[in-house]
Amino acid sequence: MGVTAQNLAVQDVIALAFHAYLLLRVSIAPDSPNAVVARRLALALFVVTASCITLTRGEVIRDQRARAITYRLGLFVPMVLSYFEMRVLIPALQPELMDHQLFAIDRWLLGTSPSIWMEAWNFEPIVEWLSFFYYGYFVVLALMLVPSLLIGEGRRQHELLAGALLIVATGHFLYTIVPGAGPYATIRFHQALHGGFWWKQVEVAVATAGAQLDIFPSLHTAFPAYFTLHAFAHRQAQPFRWLWPIIAFVALNIIVATMFLRWHWFIDVAVGLLLAFAARRFAVAVANREVLRGGRTDARQAVWERL
């Protein structure tokens, strides 16, 4: 049996620390119905992640394929579910919303917030165009991450998934530090957005599945920007040779949509971009350190064992 500490990857430590932080924060939060639910969720996600890492990195599961499947599910699924956890966890912390401070930063940087001057674009074709891309963010996430998780290999897999995990952990951590509702709930606009089908899909998605107070930083900015940086860095290889301009175009539209649709302040977007660049640097450093694990001269378990 291998030694868990020897086999631990950087992303394992980040995931454990992230879930432990959420569990600690909500454990000391004031009692409330949201806190009760959030504590159960936080405990469940921490236990699943810790158990998965122990079973796989400790090689308690001896079959390599079963270990690879367990690791992927046990690391990836709790990080995805942590977004839905935010819906009850952030209110459970009974935070003071920081929209007015974020708006003040926008005014200091730009003189106003982009959502205000973008109100001049409030025509149904533009609302529908940007709503389509905003809603498509979830498709972009799935298309970029799931294939890499299941069939990826080598440096590109290490980079993409390590950086994505850092974005989730950092973004959700900052949600608990800088909670806010966004311009739509803070500013009195002259008119509601004149949207149609796609705008209604966005409204329903945000109302039913959104974490509500998850604005700083904008992960709708961080993830598409990170995927663009990753694709551009690997543009000499397929499929990114032809795909990277498409990803960049989609990312630009999603980023503009976050402000035009009144969900985010400019500072949310700016920090989202900084997070994307930081995640890219982090991913390259991690890949340099860990891509050769499990090779002929390295007795440690590979970070991503083959399915």
What pLDDT, in 10s, does the model give residues 10-48? 999 999 999 999 999 999 999 999 999 999 999 999 999
Question: For the chain, what percent of residues have pLDDT higher than 70?
Answer: 98
Three-state DSSP at 301 gives coil
Does pLDDT of 209 surpass 90? no
Mean pLDDT check: name the lowest of 42-46, 124-128, 296-300.
296-300
Q: Are residues 82 and 215 in the same domain?
A: no
Q: Are residues 38 and 161 in the same domain?
A: no
Looking at the structure of the chain, the number of domains it has is 2
Does pLDDT of 208 surpass 70? yes
Does pLDDT of 2 surpass 50? no
End-to-end CA distance of the chain: 20
Q: Are residues 146 and 213 in the same domain?
A: yes
Specify if 306 maps to a domain.
Answer: no
Closest CA to 124 of 45, 70, 208, 193: 193
Q: Are residues 43 and 115 in the same domain?
A: no
What pLDDT, in 10s, does the model give residues 58-72? 989 999 999 999 999
Q: Are residues 114 and 79 in the same domain?
A: no
Query: Which residue did the predictor score with more confidence, 270 or 96?
Result: 270
Does pLDDT of 108 surpass 70? yes
CA distance 235 to 165: 22
Among 69, 94, 119, identify where a domain stops: 94
Quote the pLDDT of residue 211.
63
Specify if 305 maps to a domain.
Answer: no
What is the token pair recorded at 86?
Answer: 């935010």
Domain span at residue 137 reads: 97-300
Q: Are residues 131 and 225 in the same domain?
A: yes
Q: Are residues 41 and 80 in the same domain?
A: yes
Kindly report the pTM of this predicted structure. 0.92
Q: What angle do CA 41, 42, 46 make, to 5 degrees?
A: 115
Q: Are residues 138 and 21 in the same domain?
A: no
Q: Are residues 89 and 128 in the same domain?
A: no
CA distance 183 to 195: 17
Q: Are residues 83 and 103 in the same domain?
A: no
